[in-house]
A and B are shown apart, each in its own frame.
Chain A
Amino acid sequence: MNAVVPQGRRPRHLTAGRIGIYAFLATAALFFLLPLWIMVVTSLKPMEEIRMGNILALPAAMTFEAWTKAWSSACTGLECNGISVGFWNSVRILVPSVILSIIVGAINGYALSFWRVRGANVMFGVLLLGAFIPYQVFLYPLVRIFSLTGIYNSLTCIVLVHVIFGLPTMTLLFRNYYAGLPIELFKAARIDGGGFWSIFLRVILPMSTPILVVATILQVTGIWNDFIFGLTFAGRQNLPMTVQLNNIVNSTQGERAYNVDMAATMLAALVPLVVYFVSGRWFVRGIAAGAVKG
Chain B
Amino acid sequence: MSSVSVRDVTVAFEAVQVFDGLSLDIQEGEFIVLLGPSGCGKSTLLNAIAGLLDVAEGQIWINGKNVTWEEPKDRGIAMVFQSYALYPRMSVRENMSFGLKMARTPKPEIERRVARAAELLQITPLLDRRPDQLSGGQRQRVAIGRALVRDAAVFLFDEPLSNLDAKLRNELRVEIKRLHARLGKTTMVYVTHDQIEAMTLADRIVVMKEQKIQQIGTPDEIYHRPANLFVAGFVGSPQMNFIKGRIENTGEGLSFLSGERRLSLAGYQFAATPLPGREVVLGIRPEHLKISGAGTWPGFKVDIVEPMGADTVIWCSDGAGSVQVRIAGSRRPAPGESVTLHVDPTEVSLFAADSGERL
**Contacts from A to B (Cβ < 8 Å):** 182, 184-185, 187-194, 198, 202-203, 206-207
Contacts and interface: CB of A to CB of B under 8 A. Distances in A.
A124 to B, nearest CB: 16
B89 A185 contact: no
Contacts of B98: 189, 192, 194, 202
Interface string B97-118: 0110011000000000000000
Contacts of A192: 73, 98-99, 102, 146, 150
With a 10 A CB-CB cut-off, give which of B77, B99, B103 has the most chain A CB atoms: B99
Nearest to B81: A184
Interface string B39-54: 0000000010010100
Contacts of B99: 191-193
A36 B216 CA distance: 76
Contacts of A193: 73, 99, 102-103
B103 A206 contact: no
Contacts of B71: 190
A207 B81 contact: no
A194 B71 CA distance: 10
Given A182-B85, A193-B73, A203-B87, A187 B79 contact: yes
B78 A191 contact: yes
Contact of B72 (A190, A198, A202): A190
Contact of A184 (B85, B102, B146, B150): B85
A203 B102 CA distance: 12
A207 B88 CA distance: 7
8 closest cross-chain pairs (CB), A and B: A192-B99, A193-B73, A206-B89, A193-B102, A184-B85, A188-B85, A184-B81, A191-B72
Which residue among B50, B72, B86 has the maximum number of chain A CB atoms within 10 Å of its CB? B72
A203 B78 CA distance: 18
B83 A182 contact: yes
A191 B102 contact: no
Interface in B49-77: 50, 52, 71-73, 77
Interface residues of B, number: 25
A212 to B, nearest CB: 13
Contacts, number: 58
A190 B51 CA distance: 9
B85 A187 contact: yes
Nearest to B54: A116
Interface string B105-136: 00000000000000000000000000000000
A71 B71 CA distance: 60
A244 B237 CA distance: 78
Contacts of A188: 79, 81, 85-87, 146
Interface of B: 47, 50, 52, 71-73, 77-79, 81-83, 85-90, 98-99, 102-103, 146, 150, 158
17 contacts: A182-B83, A184-B81, A184-B83, A185-B87, A188-B81, A188-B87, A191-B52, A191-B73, A191-B79, A192-B102, A192-B146, A194-B98, A194-B102, A202-B98, A203-B87, A207-B88, A207-B89
A105 to B, nearest CB: 20
Contacts of B72: 187, 190-191
A32 to B, nearest CB: 40
A189 B79 contact: no
Contacts of A198: 102
Nearest to A116: B54
A194 to B, nearest CB: 6
Contacts of B77: 191
B178 to A, nearest CB: 24
A164 to B, nearest CB: 31
Nearest to A182: B83
A191 B98 CA distance: 11
A182 B47 CA distance: 15
B21 to A, nearest CB: 23
A202 B95 CA distance: 11
| Interface-centre pick from A187, A192, A198, A203 (highest chain B CB count, 10 A) | A192
Nearest to B52: A187
Given A182-B85, A188-B85, A191-B72, 17 more contacts: A184-B83, A184-B85, A185-B87, A187-B85, A188-B86, A188-B87, A189-B98, A190-B52, A191-B52, A191-B79, A191-B99, A192-B150, A193-B103, A194-B102, A206-B88, A207-B88, A207-B89
A192 to B, nearest CB: 3
A187 B50 CA distance: 9
B281 to A, nearest CB: 40
A202 B97 CA distance: 13
A189 B158 CA distance: 15
Contacts of B52: 187, 190-191
Nearest to A185: B85
Nearest to A187: B52
Contact of A189 (B78, B83, B87): B87
